[in-house]
């Protein structure tokens, strides 16, 4: 099972070409899509091919801003931020004559624009848990439930507790077979924690239709057979400062796409095996057909008729 990329490969490859000083600046106007309904617009200015704008549009952008996305984006892209392009939520502008940093580092950071925007609620929850852990008398009512409606009918819920952070995905399984595959996959996550080297992995809980206790009070939850909830219980060891924390944020926010991608791959594999088996059965049936012996024709005199 593969891990999906956290960055946008099209943006990365395009910027590598545009940031190469050996290439002459040329007009470009590209519309790019990403997971979870994200849209990008990568284009040069009408009157200046050395100025390149990258804009992003996402239905949950205002929710991310409420949970600190602006601060995260300023930390990562402060020198390239300009006024958002019309119809988009956030825009970066690059001067190809003076990129303003190591090109490889800039390209990598820019290709992670979606990831960095979504990182804001997770960073806030991790920081809040670290502070709560130091308090002798922690008030549970101070815990903030952050809701990000990032897809139609689906959301991510992030909540800090004194000793953990809970992340809940609500997702839609449009077909019965999808729910079956999902249950099998998620059971593997549960069983994996039994292995000695994976005992520190986050706890994973799957529930069908019935929302977890943490979000039952949330209005507007969909009551449908196609609705499923996946809960991750993260402890401080799962998001220690540094590379572990960054990797956890990257992996968990792509989990929904990771799950549905492998469900589709499994269904495609099963269909290919079924088609191969049907083809084998047809061959067996063809071999089992009795051969029809040609009947001998005779003349009126009784002699055998032989066609020359």
What one-character DSSP code corresponds to residue 5? Answer: P
Which tens digits make up the pLDDT trace of 256-275?
999 999 999 989 998 999 99
Tokens for 189?
Answer: 């996550």
Q: Is the predicted pLDDT of residue 115 greater than 70, yes or no?
A: yes
pLDDT in tens, 14-68: 999 999 988 888 999 999 999 999 999 999 998 889 999 999 999 999 999 999 9
Residue 242's pLDDT band (boundaries 50, 70, 90)? confident
Predicted pLDDT of residue 294:
58
Residue 126 has pLDDT above 90, yes or no: yes
C-alpha distances in angstroms, 177 versus 17, 110, 187, 266? 43, 37, 15, 11
Q: What is the pLDDT of residues 179-189, one digit of tens each?
A: 898 888 888 88
Convert the pLDDT of each residue in 207-228 to its tens digit.
988 999 999 999 988 888 889 9
**Band of the pLDDT at 306, cuts 50, 70, 90?**
low
Sequence-distant (≥ 6) Cβ neighbours of residue 181 within 8 angstroms: 263, 266, 267
Mean pLDDT of the chain: 89
Q: How confident is the model at residue 134 (pLDDT cuts 50, 70, 90)?
A: confident
For the segment 222-241, the average pLDDT, to the nearest whole number, is 90
- Model's pTM, two decimal places? 0.85
Q: What is the pLDDT of residue 232?
A: 94
């Amino acid at each position: 099972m593969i891990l999906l990329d956290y960055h946008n490969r099209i943006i990365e490859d395009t910027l590598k070409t545009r940031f190469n000083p050996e290439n002459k600046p040329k007009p470009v106007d590209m519309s790019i899509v990403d997971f979870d309904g994200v849209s990008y617009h990568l284009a040069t200015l009408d009157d200046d091919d050395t100025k390149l704008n990258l804009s992003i549009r996402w239905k949950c952008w205002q929710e991310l801003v409420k949970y600190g996305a602006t601060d995260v984006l300023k930390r990562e892209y402060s020198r390239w931020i300009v006024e958002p392009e019309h119809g988009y939520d956030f825009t970066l502008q690059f001067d190809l004559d003076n990129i303003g940093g190591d090109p490889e580092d800039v390209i990598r950071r820019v290709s992670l624009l979606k990831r960095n925007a979504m990182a804001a609620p997770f960073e806030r929850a991790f920081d809040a848990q670290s502070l709560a852990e130091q308090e002798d008398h922690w008030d549970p009512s101070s815990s903030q439930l952050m809701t990000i409606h990032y897809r139609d009918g689906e959301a991510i819920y992030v909540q800090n507790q004194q000793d953990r952070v809970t992340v809940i995905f609500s997702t839609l399984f449009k077909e019965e077979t999808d729910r079956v595959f999902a249950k099998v996959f998620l059971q593997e996550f549960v069983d994996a924690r039994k292995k000695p080297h994976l005992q520190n992995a986050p706890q994973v809980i799957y529930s069908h239709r019935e929302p977890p206790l943490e979000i039952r009070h949330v209005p507007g939850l969909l009551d449908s057979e196609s609705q499923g909830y996946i809960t991750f219980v993260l402890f401080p060891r799962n998001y220690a400062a540094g590379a572990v924390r960054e990797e956890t944020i990257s992996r968990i926010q792509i989990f929904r796409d990771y799950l549905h991608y492998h469900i589709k791959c499994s269904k495609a594999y099963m269909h290919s095996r079924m088609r191969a088996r049907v083809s084998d059965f047809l061959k067996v049936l063809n071999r089992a057909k009795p051969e029809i012996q040609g009947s001998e024709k005779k003349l009126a005199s009784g002699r055998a008729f032989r066609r020359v």
